[in-house]
Amino acid sequence: MGDPRVVIVGGGYAGATIATSLDAVADVTLIEPKDSFVHATGALRAAVDASWEDRVFFPYNRLLTRGRVVHEYAQAVTSTQVRVSAGRVVDADYLVLATGTAYPFPAKFIESDVLVAKARLARLREALREARAVMIVGAGPVGLELAGELSAAFPALKLTIVDRARDVLTTGDYLPELCSAIRSQLDDRGVAFELGSPLGYLPPVDVGVLAPFTVHTRAGRRIDADVWFRCYGNTPVTDFLVGDLAGARRADGHIAVAPTLSIPGFPTVFAIGDITDIPETKRASAAIAHAHVAAANIRALIDGREPSATHEPAAELVVLPLGPDAGASQVLRPDGAREVLGARETSEMKGIDLFSTAMAQLFSTAAPAAR
């Protein structure tokens, strides 16, 4: 009998991590339409600086030594089979769902071909060089981080952040000191805030495209800009669940999981990363932690043991750079108390490298696949 077949759907942070973790002990198939992994944490820097593209896109050809990456969309998934295109079916002894969330450009990409994704980024950078004013809709972590990158790279750009909420960072359990630190650093760079009223209507142009427009908030404030970005709406990608797994998808698109990260009623099917309903902020660090738990449990099942690894949601934390040398963070001290750190610590923890060195290491472990 051959090695047990582990099929992983989605090769983001969670899927790529569990694929490498099980490569030595199972017959791993990773199903991922993109030809290169997208390091979303660094994507906003690549939107303003072309030299960052090599630290955001990593080809999959060095990820696995024994297993394979199938560059196709999973179209229909049951607990034992994944149908990709043209009716082709991949059989699974163990199935891992890791399809993450969709988010608007330039934080994430719909393009599967890295050359097309890079061409879109190049057009965006060209638009930003020409633009005089930019509107960001959404004052959450992504909108604020984007404002930080734009204001650091293009200091003359007039930036306006719009949000229906009355303050920044209202969607998480964030300390007031964090909100005021971020707000005052962006104030110092001349960023304008239109808070407390939603836009009456969205601009009639695509995000990231140079096309001057005027919009109004419902409170009647007028905003003129040349480019806009949508920084809200993290949507779970789980619409491919069919047959016995159709009921695993909750109304909001997330998948309910047991503490072992298996789907209740399906001991050989696991869900990890942003698609889970675990009550914690959706983070790459959490997705990677899920991958290690599910990998340990699949190893136990393969060895005939009871799965015993579990995931405990971590307390709210955020490291929010505003470009390479500014920002603020909310972290946990060893005694469990929450603490807000300033620009220097935030740059050292994330802003300078954006965790790109760790991702480069993950994607360069195996020998390149023969072509």
Ligand X SMILES: Cc1cc2nc3c(=O)[nH]c(=O)nc-3n(C[C@H](O)[C@H](O)[C@H](O)COP(=O)(O)OP(=O)(O)OC[C@H]3O[C@@H](n4cnc5c(N)ncnc54)[C@H](O)[C@@H]3O)c2cc1C
Tell me which residues touch ligand X (CB under 6 A): 9-15, 31-34, 40-41, 43-44, 73-74, 98-101, 103, 107-108, 142, 145, 237, 240, 273-274, 282-285, 287, 319, 350
Q: How far is CA 277 from the centre of its chain?
A: 16
Q: Considering the complex, state which of residue 215 and residue 236 has its C-beta at the smaller distance from ligand X.
A: 236
Q: Considering the complex, state which of residue 116 and residue 219 has its C-beta at the smaller distance from ligand X.
A: 116
Question: CB of 288: closest distance to ligand X in angstroms?
Answer: 8
Find the residue with minimal CB distance to ligand X.
12
Q: Considering the complex, state which of residue 44 and residue 225 has its C-beta at the smaller distance from ligand X.
A: 44
- 364: alpha, beta or left, given left = phi > 0 and alpha = psi -120 to 50? alpha
Q: Are 19 and 11 in contact (CB under 8 A)?
A: yes
Q: Considering the complex, state which of residue 103 and residue 215 has its C-beta at the smaller distance from ligand X.
A: 103
Q: What DSSP character marks residue 369? A: P
CA angle 101, 231, 42 (to 5 degrees): 70
CA angle 28, 34, 37 (to 5 degrees): 75
CA distance 13 to 294: 13
Q: Considering the complex, state which of residue 217 and residue 297 has its C-beta at the smaller distance from ligand X.
A: 297
Question: CB of 200: closest distance to ligand X in angstroms?
Answer: 26
Q: Considering the complex, state which of residue 23 and residue 145 has its C-beta at the smaller distance from ligand X.
A: 145
Torsion of CA 205, 211, 214, 217, to 10 degrees: 50
Kind plus residue range of the DSSP H or E element containing 138:
none
Question: CB of 343: closest distance to ligand X in angstroms?
Answer: 16
Question: CB of 332: closest distance to ligand X in angstroms?
Answer: 14
Question: CB of 306: closest distance to ligand X in angstroms?
Answer: 26
Question: CB of 48: closest distance to ligand X in angstroms?
Answer: 13
Residues 6+ positions from 188 with CB-CB distance below 8 Å: none
Nearest-CA neighbor of 18 among 212, 314, 294? 294
